[in-house]
Structures are given as structure tokens and as C-alpha cells.
Amino acid sequence: MTKKITRSLLAGFAGVMMAFCLLTCGEMGYKQQEVLAVGDAQEPSISVQPVGGVYTLGSTIAPLSVTAAVTDGGSLSYQWYDATPAEWQEGTGTLLGTGPSYQPAAAGEGVYQIYVLITNTNNKVQGGTTTSAKSNLVKVTINDASNALYPNITAEPENGLYEWASGLEVEAIPVTAAVSDGGSLSYQWYSVASYTNEDGTAINGASSASFRPTITAAGTYYYYVVVTNTNNSASGRKMSPIASNPVIVQALTPNSTITVNTAAKYQYVRGFGGMAVPWGNFPQDYMDDYERMFNPDTGLGYNMLRIMIPCSDTDIETGLQQYILGDTTGDKDRSHYYEMVKLVNRYGGYVLASPWSPPAEWKTNGSTVGGQGGQAAKLIKSYYNDYADYLKKYCQIMARNGAPIYAVSIQNEPNYAANYDGCEWDGTETRDFIKQVGQFTAGVKGWGGGAEIPRVLIMNGESANTPSFNNPVLNDPEARNLIDLLARHNYGNSNENIWTTASQYGKEVWMTEHNLNAGTPIGYVDDSTYNYVWKFMNDVDWTLRVNNENAFVWWALKRFYSMIGDGTEGTVDGAILPRGYGLAHYAKYAAGMTRIGVTAAGTTASGTALSAGNINNTSHSYDSTAAKVTAYVSQDGNTISLVMFTPTNIGAGGVNLGTVKIQLPDGFTVTNATAVRTTRSAFLRAESVSVLTNKNAAFVELPVGQIVSIKFTKN
């Protein structure tokens, strides 16, 4: 219940804008910040690679061109290089020209190796402002017609990646070449110590268009092939050789194997997000804050927003209008109340509206405040139908203003006696309420997942600490059929799981509020640091992996201990915090998918056998340093993703998993793999994934203190 402490202890919004320029948006009536995209500048995506060619000396050489794009609003620049394979690997070479195309000069007979380095520059990101991508290294061949022509390599040899085992047999490596002058082609394969196609050692007997290496130990091996055209009818040189690009064959030994099991299916994961807290002692939020968090392309990709139904008198329409306009307290700008819902809806998300108290006139204590003072603060039973109509009217108002919601809750923390707005219910009272009022949102269309739904869904009271609060509803067939969603707040009873029962009846269980902070002003300054991301990540992991809950909704989206900073405790207003990046891994790699089974075998990098003590712990602890791995499958079965992290205890301890093999199910042939990694200095860095040659397994490095998420697609 930490948030209750911080509400009274924390200072109000300080108004420090720091690095962001504030602009006034008169049309919408709220302030905006300059939008900064999260993470680094996006890596350019190359859709059309340059294509080499074979030409006769003196003929016109076709320009080389490339097509690339980014979606983050950055600017692309191009640098064309003449390079050896080693220079290409390093991103260097002799600069030839700039621009999206390059006209090679006919400098003379020979084979020229060329690539283009494409750089995206985006000064509106919070991380690195430049990111580059390299095209393929292509050959432009210029022949002297009097000599034997150089062979044209139409298919370069491809790299191979294998798991090392004694007696390993690797696949043959083919090369495809052709010549048009009637000559005959011969082949010689070479081994070499680095990524180069020069000065290698000829391999005895390796003189055909394909080559099967003999691997006798784990390691990385380099090869290339020289293809020679022999044409004795040429008036000049009779033999012309050309070297292929180098090929890499790796035989790696993983420390451990993570096996993904699609047959073991658990909960559907609807999504991740947090709450827009409207209280005056919380920071001012802006539409750009929500853009930064909910945009799936340039933002963190969240898809769950919880909003507060303001306490008012029995006229909810007037009360909501006063609340939005600030007439009730005037302590902050809430004019974007509808707009933030519209934004989340536009990005395909889900909005939950939660009430803190019914109107005071309908409660036993005559106040919107809860009953912490000893006097019961309950909804009078004779007003059950009035309260249902009150909530229905709220849903209608939202829809009428172009901001339909996905679900409405009956009550925030009905089993907690609050010293602020609140109302106490027990589980039987929520059961009796819903049986009396029925599906009170009937006829009010909602919105979620990017589509209209027939009516706004109804959520039972969002219990504080104890999910068994929902049991009276679950155990009553009539009430169970009237309720759509169940909820809990993860402030305690961490090992209590109701999903097993709820899922039998087709009910989702959402974790709709939690907050972890230092609890004292002295410690608050640490909450926004990278060392403290692990308490949060362990919280999300436990919610999904052990409690099987369908959604994770944090308390305040904008706070120094949350997703984005508020300008206090050393944070920058609007800047993404480590916890914000951490939740983005789940939002981008788990939302909208079904959690599936994983097993782990092998050792850590130091040789310690894997067990529940060092991977996927089974006893609850926010300070756990056990590595965490969860896996998810898309509804069509064509995508499998994993979220993995190796936490520390405030910077100490942790498990170095070293080289990890990810074993996917038989028949899941990987056609594409993407990954992002979060470290102390790089928050959402895209990186390549090493997929094994058999195409249903991959290797990844997972040292201490990092988060890595991977997505595999097939077909």
C-alpha cells in the first residue's frame, strides 16, 4: 500500500521542465512538450540491396542504388565505400561517394567490392542520435574482352552456426558461379584466420563448387573459395580468378539451453501500462507523455491505461465536466482527459476506468472518504441500482466524447479502509451488487484492441492485496456470468493465484495497481536508477510467470519511481526512466500473445548447475537475483518471443548465464529474428540474433544486469 504513504509525504509537482521546451496548444487546451522518441535513433531498414554486375571494359556501368527507410522521423545519409571484406565488417573502406545511388567509375579491368553505409541521424531521441546499417558487399566486375572473363559469383557462400558436439557434421557450403565466354570453371577452397578472402591456406581436396568443413573443436572458422575461369581460346590472359566473400562457420558451446514448449500454454497476456493519476499532489502530465509511452513505433509500446472516475455528487455528468475543467480544485490541468483515452484507443490499446468512491449521499458515512477512521464507509444497498446507473452514465459520456473505454470497475480497493476517497465492500457484497444490477453497461459500446466492442466490460472490485476477495463472485454461477473481468492489486498475498480457477470460466485476471518505492524521502532518489529496475522487473515477472495474470498495470505512469520522470528526485520531466524501458520489453514482446512453457538446463557461465535458486525462482522476492525467462506465442502460432533478464540486488550479485541456446519447437523454422537489449548505458538497443543453421534454435549472450527480448517468426 506504498502509494498511500507517498500521497501524504511526497512534495507536489515542482514545475521543473528542464530539457523540454513547453509550447501552448490552444486548440486542445493543454500544454505540450517537444516529443522525444525513446531509445536510440532507429537502425535503417534496407528493403532493396545494391546489385553488382559484370561489364566489358569501356561499356556503361549501371549505377548502384539502395532503398532504405526509418519510421522515427530521422534523416538518412549515405556513404559508398570500396572495401575489403574485413573493412566491410568494420564499416570502413575507401570513400567513393555519397547519396542513395553511386555511379562506379570504369577505372580498368578488375573486381571491385563496394557497399554503402546508411546512417540515420535523429536529434529527437533520448539515446544515441545516430545509428547505421551496412548494405551487402557487392562485386562490380569489369572484363577486358581479350582475356578470359572473370567468373560471376551469383550466390555467395553462406555462414553457418552450429552447437558444438563431438562428431559434429556441418552442412556443405555451396557457391554458385557462371561465365559467358565458353571457359571452364574450377574451384579451390581456403581456410583463413580472420574475415578476409586473401592469403589463405588451400584445403586439400576442396576443389568443387561446394565444401563441407571438418570441425574438430568448438570455435569460429573462416573460409573462402577462389573460382577460376580457364579459357584457352582467349587471345590474352587464359585464366581469371575471383575470390568469394569470406564465410564464417561457428561451432559454439552454450552454457545452458532454454527450451520453449508451445504445448504448455498458460494465460493470454493482454498488455502492460499504468495509471494517469489526477491527484493534485502528483505531477502534471501532457499528451506528449502518453505519445512517448503508448506509440508502438517510436514509443515504449504500452497498451493499458487506467484512469480515475472522479468523485462527484449524483450528477456524474456535471461532476466530470467540473473535474476536467479544474473547477473542483484548480490544482492541475486535466483538459486532456478525453484526449489521452483517444490516443490509447488510436494505438490499439485498452482503457480501464476505476471509481474511488460512489457519491457521498449514497454511503453510510455521508462522505466520499473511506472508513479508516473507524466509521464504516459502505454503499447503502438501496442505492445499488443508482450506482450502477451512475457508472453506466459515465461510460456513455466517455463514448459521446469520442473516448469510449474498454472496461469499468465497480470499486478501487473495496477491501481497504482508506483515509482518502474510498468505499468498503466485502466479496459477498460485490457478488450481491452485480446479481442485483446485472450487466449494467448493456447498450453502451466500448472500445479495445483497436476495435469497437458490443458493450463496456464490467470488472469486479479491484482488491487490495487479496485476490481471494473475488471468490464469492467466481463461486456463484449467476454473478460469474455477469462479471467480465477480475482484478487484484499486488501489494501483498504475492503467492495467491486465482487464475487457475478464473480461467476455467473464461475470466481474465488483471493486476491493475502496484507501486514499489523506497518508502522514505531519503531513499527516493535511488528509485529512478538502473539498480532499482530489478525490483520492478521481478514484480512484472512474478505477476506473469507465477500468478498467471493477464495484464500488468502499474500505479502512476509519471513519477520519479515509475515509467517517466516528473522533474523531482533527480529525474527529468518527461524523460524515460529505467523502469519505463524495462516494461517496454514486455509491452513489445509479450502483449497480445499467450504465455507458454520454458525449461532450463545446463549451467551458468561459471559452471554452477541451473536450478530454481538461480533461474525462474519459485519463492517470492523483489530482490531475487535469479535469472528470469518467459516465452510467448502469437495467436496464429507464427511468432514466438522471449523476455529474459538477469537481475541484481541493488547492483550486487546476479547470474551470468553466458552463452544461452534457445531451442524452439520442432517444425518452427525461423525466417526472421529480432532482438532488443537493455543495459545500464543502452536502453533499447536493437541487435542481431545468431540463428543456428537448422533454423529452430539460436544463441544469445546474457551476462549479469541485462534485459534481452527476442522475437522469432516463421513462414
Q: Are residues 468 and 492 in the same domain?
A: yes
Cell 455521508, located at residue:
366
**506 contacts: CB under 8 Å, gap ≥ 6:** none
Q: Would residue 122 count as lying in a domain? A: yes
Grade residue 329 by pLDDT with cuts at 50, 70 and 90. low
Give the separation between CA 256 and CA 272, rounded to whole angstroms. Answer: 30
Q: Please state, for a pLDDT cut of 70, what percent of the chain lies above it.
A: 94
pLDDT: which is higher, 481 or 688 = 481
The number of distinct structural domains making up the chain is 4
Q: What is the pLDDT of residue 330?
A: 58
Q: Would residue 603 count as lying in a domain? A: no
**Is residue 572 over pLDDT 90?**
yes
Q: Average pLDDT in the 240-257 region?
A: 96
Grade residue 685 by pLDDT with cuts at 50, 70 and 90. confident
Q: Are residues 333 and 443 in the same domain?
A: yes
Q: Are 645 and 663 in contact (CB under 8 A)?
A: no
Q: What is the pLDDT of residue 23?
A: 26
Grade residue 704 by pLDDT with cuts at 50, 70 and 90. very high
Give the separation between CA 192 and CA 319, rounded to whole angstroms. Answer: 77
- Domain at 561, CATH number: 3.20.20.80
Which of 16, 532, 611 shows the shortest CA–CA distance to 284?
16
| DSSP code string of 28-83 | TTEEEE---BSSSPPPPEEEE----EEEETTSPPPPEE-EEE-SSS-EEEEEEEE-
Q: What is the pLDDT of residue 127?
A: 78
Q: Are residues 17 and 71 in the same domain?
A: no
Grade residue 53 by pLDDT with cuts at 50, 70 and 90. very high
Which of 409, 406, 397 shows the shortest CA–CA distance to 323?
397
**Is residue 569 over pLDDT 90?**
yes
Measured CA to CA in angstroms, residue 423 lies from 115, 329, 411, 514, 705 at distances of: 67, 21, 7, 19, 42
Q: Are residues 576 and 679 in the same domain?
A: no
Cell 547505421, located at residue:
132
Q: What is the pLDDT of residue 463?
A: 96
Relative orientation angle of helices 337-346 and 316-325, to the nearest 10 degrees: 90
Q: Are residues 280 and 394 in the same domain?
A: yes
- Weakest mean pLDDT among 9-18, 288-297, 320-329, 373-382: 9-18
Beta strands 304-309 and 350-355 are parallel
Which DSSP symbol is given to 564? Answer: B
Q: Would residue 349 count as lying in a domain? A: yes
Q: Would residue 600 count as lying in a domain? A: no
Task: Quick: pLDDT tens for 217-235.
Answer: 999 999 999 999 999 999 9
Grade residue 107 by pLDDT with cuts at 50, 70 and 90. confident
Give the separation between CA 319 and CA 356, rounded to whole angstroms. Answer: 14
Neighbouring CB atoms inside 10 A of 653's CB total 15
Q: Are 33 and 289 in contact (CB under 8 A)?
A: yes
Q: Are residues 700 and 551 in the same domain?
A: no
Give residue 27's Cα distance to chain centre.
33
Q: Are 294 and 343 in contact (CB under 8 A)?
A: yes
**Is residue 1 over pLDDT 50?**
no
Q: Which residues of 620-647 are buried (b: 16+ CB within 10 A; e: fewer)?
A: eeeebbbbbbbbbbeeeeebbbbbbbbb
Mean pLDDT, all residues of the chain: 92
Q: Would residue 607 count as lying in a domain? A: no
Grade residue 493 by pLDDT with cuts at 50, 70 and 90. confident
What range does the domain containing 435 cover?
2-34+271-591
Q: Are residues 52 and 25 in the same domain?
A: no
Please, which residues bridge with residue 598 across strands? 260
- Domain at 117, CATH number: 2.60.40.10
Grade residue 126 by pLDDT with cuts at 50, 70 and 90. confident
Q: What is the pLDDT of residue 28?
A: 32
**Residue 71, Cβ density class (10 Å: 0-12 exposed, 13-18 middle, ≥19 buried):** exposed
| Most confident residue range from 25-34, 38-47, 370-379, 583-592 | 583-592
Q: What is the pLDDT of residue 274?
A: 98
Give the separation between CA 9 and CA 534, rounded to whole angstroms. Answer: 24
Q: What is the pLDDT of residue 32?
A: 41
Q: Average pLDDT in the 27-51 region?
A: 69
Give the separation between CA 316 and CA 625, rounded to whole angstroms. Answer: 48
Q: Are residues 507 and 363 in the same domain?
A: yes
**Is residue 20 over pLDDT 80?**
no
Which of 657, 660, 690, 687 shows the shortest CA–CA distance to 253?
660
Give the domain-ending residue among 250, 283, 314.
250
Q: Are 631 and 596 in contact (CB under 8 A)?
A: yes
Q: Average pLDDT in the 513-523 region?
A: 91
Q: Are residues 279 and 340 in the same domain?
A: yes
Q: Would residue 597 count as lying in a domain? A: no
Q: What is the pLDDT of residue 298?
A: 87
Query: How much is the pTM?
Result: 0.87
Give the domain-ending residue among 215, 250, 285.
250
Q: Would residue 675 count as lying in a domain? A: yes
- Domain at 620, CATH number: 2.60.40.1180
Q: What is the pLDDT of residue 682?
A: 85
Q: What is the pLDDT of residue 6?
A: 31
- Weakest mean pLDDT among 43-52, 131-140, 490-499, 500-509: 490-499
Q: Average pLDDT in the 434-441 region?
A: 98
Please give the single-letter amino acid code of residue 128.
Answer: G
Q: Would residue 602 count as lying in a domain? A: no
Cell 479544474, located at residue:
326
Q: Are residues 639 and 568 in the same domain?
A: no
| DSSP code string of 219-274 | EEEEEEEEEEEE-TT-SS-SEEEEEPPPEEEEEE--SEEEEEEEEEEEEEE-EEEE
Please give the single-letter amino acid code of residue 347.
Answer: Y
Q: Are residues 519 and 641 in the same domain?
A: no
Task: Quick: pLDDT tens for 179-215.
Answer: 999 999 999 999 999 999 999 999 999 999 999 999 9
Q: What is the pLDDT of residue 623?
A: 95
Q: What is the pLDDT of residue 13?
A: 23
Q: Are residues 364 and 337 in the same domain?
A: yes
Q: What is the pLDDT of residue 332?
A: 86
Name the grid cell of 250: 561457428
Q: What is the pLDDT of residue 328?
A: 57
| DSSP code string of 5-20 | HHHHHS-------TT-
Which of 626, 582, 620 shows the shortest CA–CA distance to 600?
626
First to last CA, the chain: 47
Q: What is the pLDDT of residue 112?
A: 94
**Is residue 34 over pLDDT 80?**
no
Relative orientation angle of helices 533-541 and 578-589, to the nearest 10 degrees: 30
